Structure 1
Amino acid sequence: MTAPVFHRVAQLELIRDDWRWPFADDRRAEIDAHFAKRRLEKPDLFNGRVLLGRNARFTPQCFSADIFETDFASFLSWRDWGYPDHNVFNGFGMGALRASDGAFVLGEMGQHTANAGRVYFPGGTPDPSDLRGDRLDIAGSISREIAEETGLLESDYRSSDGWCCVVSGTLIAILRVLQVDRPSAVLRDKIEASLAQQVAPELCAIHLVREPGDFTAAMPSFVTAFLATQFARG
């Protein structure tokens, strides 16, 4: 696997079009059969609509791309089968929550989710509710995911300027540091209290990362690469 590539940009121009994904059309029967099998393993999986991208373009100021809509079953099959269509990417926003003592707060995905056991920042593949007209609102997607996963509201953190886009194969993580004016232990307690009140929380555990020695194999390479750059900057 190639090392993640970083692009720091000031703005995003992610615009939806009506392009149809040949992979989803041509392999429909296989996709449906695969999703049925996956639902036997994880009954909570839901075949909703998601947004993927193509034609990624980076300049020093902007990340732009064409965004299209597909079903979760097609996305899951594409991912599980090793991303056979390399012309498409999964672009998703993530909020890198950082406590007042410098520790980053990450969540571990629950066993009922499609990413069980993985540890990363709150976020996820965007869906049509994240569109504002034809424009994909990544900042809004991050706020929505954080509220759903952790119970934190926009008033609980301050967003840094700009974006760090980490390209890892067919994944593009669109990250922004979110500063929280609470110590990490207090922030973890607050999130865990929220998880305890949720019927089926996406997260099953909260991890505090203060230094590279806290990295684990459950953290994707784009997460640890991003964290390494943050710790290097101090």
Structure 2
Amino acid sequence: MGHDAGADDVVICELEALDLRLEPGRWAFEDEYGARIARHWDAACRANPALFNGRVLMMTRCSLAGGRLEGGLVEASFAAFLAWRDWGFPDAGVVNCFGSAAILSADGALLYGEMAPHTANAGLVYPPGGSLEPCDADARGRVDMARAIARELGEETGLEAREARDEGFVAVREGPRLSVAQRLRFPMSAAGLVSRIGEHLDAEAEPELARIVSVAALTADEAGRMPAYARLLASALAI
């Protein structure tokens, strides 16, 4: 039932406009496979007790064309998302749309994070960011991607998006994954950013990131742990 991304599934484009909306209704996949999802979640928690079954937004309607992204999202459990991911994306009509912070230094480096061992993506290397959540939607249901990215950036790195120059959004769609990356150019060197983020990680009891790294300085092993969308994003940013 899975879906593997091929060449025709990859889209990379500059975004000039985003219109994302939280819509009423439930995710049919979660309702149909509720009991199986619960069993999968129990097994996942036995393997990693640090997992938390929060609420996320899944994109059930997506249009990406002409520099414009439009989409409708519904609320779902993280357990359902994890099952969908681990089972090979069986609901092909749904897209995992998430925000990514493309941290750019004053001296031209792109920084990615290595996920900590207690996370669901332990060891993977990609931009700080994460799933959209219900709190990212306003009272009218409009989902604010920039706010979501700023939230994740602060939680994971201690950086504030307002410190950086906003250089626009880039969309990277790779099969069922859609990363909306915001270029954030900080007025600090790569070494200064790595040091500052490292201090934040050291102060956290359970940081989401094990460390922050410059993409240009990755070892072959570290580069091999980048998801496809993260490699595509780095290529699009000419890093």
Alignment TM-score > 0.5, same fold: yes
Q: 2:97 aligns with which of 82, 86, 91?
A: 91
- What residue number does 1:132 align with? 138
Q: Which amino acid aligns with 2:232?
A: A
User: 1:76 is matched with which residue?
Assistant: 82
Aligned mate of 1:227, from 221, 234, 237: 234
TM-score by length of 2: 0.92
Q: Do the aligned partners of 1:48 and 1:71 also contact (CA within 8 Å) in 2?
A: yes
1:34 Cα deviation after fit: 0.6
Name the structure 1 match of 2:23: 17
Q: Does residue 6 of structure 2 align to residue 2 of structure 1? A: yes
Q: Distance in 1 between matches of 2:107 and 2:69?
A: 31
CA distance in structure 2 between the partners assigned to 1:150 and 1:48 by the alignment: 21
1:213 Cα deviation (Å)? 8.0
Deviation of residue 67 (structure 1)? 0.7
How many residues are paired up? 231
* Secondary structure of residue in 1 paired with 2:37: helix
Q: Who is 2:207 aligned against?
A: 201
2:88 alignment partner, SS class: coil
Q: Which residue of 2 aligns with 1:31?
A: 37
* 1:202-230 CA-partner distances (Å, limit 9, x unpaired): 00011112379877111111111121122
SS in 1 for 2:95: strand
Query: Does residue 143 of structure 1 match 2:150?
Result: yes
Runs of 4+ in 1 over 6 A off after TM superposition: 211-215
Q: Does 1:153 align with 2:157?
A: no
Consecutive unaligned residues of structure 2, counting only runs of 5 or more, are none
Q: One-letter code of the match for 1:11?
A: A
| Contact persistence 2:116–2:209 (CA under 8 A) | yes
- Cross-structure match for 2:120: 114
RMSD: 1.6
2:154 aligned with 1:176: no
Matched, 1:186 2:192: yes
Name the CA distance, whole Å, in 2 between partners of 1:207 and 1:50: 27
